[in-house]
Structure 1
Amino acid sequence: MKLRTGVLSGLLLMALAAPHAVAAADDYPQRQIKIIVPFPAGAGPDQVARMLGQYLQERFGQTVVIENRAGALGSIGAQEVARSAPDGYTLLMGTNTTQAANVAMLKNLPYDPATDFAPIIRTVTTAMVLIVKPDFPAKDLTQFMEYAHAHPNLTAGYGSGASQISIGQLQSRGGLSVIAASYRGVPQAVTDVMGGAINLAFADFSLAIPQMKGGTLRGIGVTSPARNELTPDLPSLAEAMPGFEATIWYGLLAPAGTPAPVINKLYAESAKFLAMPSTREKLASVGVIVSPMAPDEFGGFIRSEITRWTADAKAAGIEAK
C-alpha cells in the first residue's frame, strides 16, 4: 500500500510539474544565453557562432554572449557545457573535433560526445587548406610533393583534431616525413606559418582564404575528397594522395537533458537563420557551406562520425595522448 501511495504521489508531482515545464519552454529564453566556442576567437567555429548568436539575440530579445574557451583540442570548452545546467542557457558550438575526433585523440576524455549532449542543429560543413608562406619553394601540389619528399622533417602545426589527423595523412597517405607541432588553436599555427616559425599548417577556410587573397599565404590543396566549390582552382590533396580526406563541420549543442521544447525552439530559429540567402552568402564568404541537420539526424550523424574519425586517426598512426 505504501508503494502504491508513493507511485501515486510521484505521478501527481509529475502532473503538477508538467505544465510548468511546458510554460518554461514557451517562455524561453528569459535571460542571457551563452554559446561557448571551444576554439580561439577568429577560428571558423567562432565566426559561425557570432553570426548565429547575433541573429538569435535579435529574435529572442535576450543577450547572446559568445565565450571562447580554447585548449586541449576543444575539450575544455566542451566539458564545461557538458557539466552545465540543462536549461538552454549554456550552449556549445561543437565541431567534428570536440564531438568525434577527440574520442581517438585524447585519453580519459572528460565527456562522452554521444551521450553528454543534446544535439540541436548541424550548421555548416567545410574543409581545410594546406597552407605555406608565399616564398615556400613549392608553388603547387605536384611541386609540394616533390619538395617534401626531398626535404624530410618539414614542421607542421595543428590546433584541432582534424588538423592533426590531416598531418598524419601526409605521412600515411603521402609517404611524407613531417614533424607535428601542437598549438592552442589553428589561428596560432597559421600565425607561425606566416612568421616562418613552421613550414606549413592546415587552416580552416575562414582563416586561409582571406590570407590567400591578401597574398600572405599560399594554398597548396584542400582536404575535401574533391575540389571545393568555394575554391575550384585549388586541387584536392586526394589528387596526389589517394584517400586523403578531412571534411569538417560545426553544430550547436546543449547539455544532455535539456527539455525537448527548448531544443526544438533553438533548432527552429537556427534553421530559419541558415535558410536565409544573406546567411548563405555571409557564411560562404568565410569559407563554410550551409549544411543543416535536425536534432535526431544530427545525433545519428555524430555517432557515425565518432566511428569514422577514430578509424582515420588509427590509419594515420595517431595515438591518444
Structure 2
Amino acid sequence: MAASCWSLPDALCHFPALDSGTLRVMRKTVDGGFRNLVRTYSDAIDTATAPLQIALNALERAFTDTPWVIVLIVLLALVWGSSRNARIVTGAAFAMLLIGWMGLWDDTMVTLAMVSVCTLIAVAIGLPIGILAARSERMQRLVNPVLDVMQTLPSFVYLIPVVVIFGIGKVPGMIAVVIYAVPPMIRLTNLGIRMVDADVLEAAEAFGSSPRQKLWNVQLPLALPALMTGVNQTIMMSLSMVVVASMVGVGGLGKNVLQAINNQFFTMGFLNGFALVAIAIVFDRASQAFGHRLQKHREVHHD
C-alpha cells in the first residue's frame, strides 16, 4: 500500500513554497517598481501613443460622420476591388444593411475603425519581423519562444500590463489587440518565405540577383499565399480580441457584448455577436479572394 501523507515528513507532503509574507513583499516590490516607472515616463508614453489616438479618432469620425450610403458604397467598392466576386459583394451588402436595420451601424463603424488600424499596425510589425526570422536562424530561435508565449497566454492577460502602463482608454485596448493579433503574421511570413523552392533561389543567384532582389522579386511573390493567409488571420484575431479589449474602454460592438454579458441581455448579445460574425465573414471572404486573385495573376504573368 502507498504510504499515507500523514506518515511522511511534512516537507514531502507539502511543496516548500515561500511564506505569504515573503510573497507579499515581492509583489509589492514589483508592483511598486512598475508604478514608479510609469509615473516617471508617463509624459513620454503619452507622447508616443498620441499618434495612435489621433489616427483612430480620425478614422472613427470618418466612418461615423460620413453618410451611411457613402460608407456602404466605399466598403462595397473595396470588397469588389479585392474579390471581383459578385456573390461576396452581394453578401457584404446584405450583411451591412442588416446591421444598419438592427441599429448597430455606428457601433459597427467604431469596430471597423479599430480593426482597420490594428490590422495595419500588426501587419507593419509582423511582416518585417517574419522576414528577419526567415533570413536568420538566430532570429527565428529568438522569436519562436516569444510567439509561443504570446499565443498561449489567455487573451485577458494581455490587458494587465497594457492597463498598468497605458491606463484605460482606446489606445491601451488597441495595443492589446495588436499584441494579440501580430503572431500569425510573423509565423506565416516566416513560413511562406522558408517554403520557397531552393532551386528557384539558386536560379535567381545564378542570374546575379542580390539578396534584396531575391527577397522582393522571388521570395515575397512566391510566399504571397502565406502572406495573405497571415493578413486574414490577423484580421480575424483582431475581431475576436475587440470584445476582450472592451473591458478597458474600447467602444463599438465589443462594449455592447460586454454589457449584454453583465446584464444577461440575450437578444442584445446575440445581435451584436451576429454583427461581429458578419464583419468577420466579409473580411475573410474578401481577403481570401484577393489572395487567390494575386496568386493567379502571378502564375499567368510567370507563364
More helix per residue: 2
What TM-score comes out, normalization by structure 2 length? Answer: 0.26
More strand per residue: 1
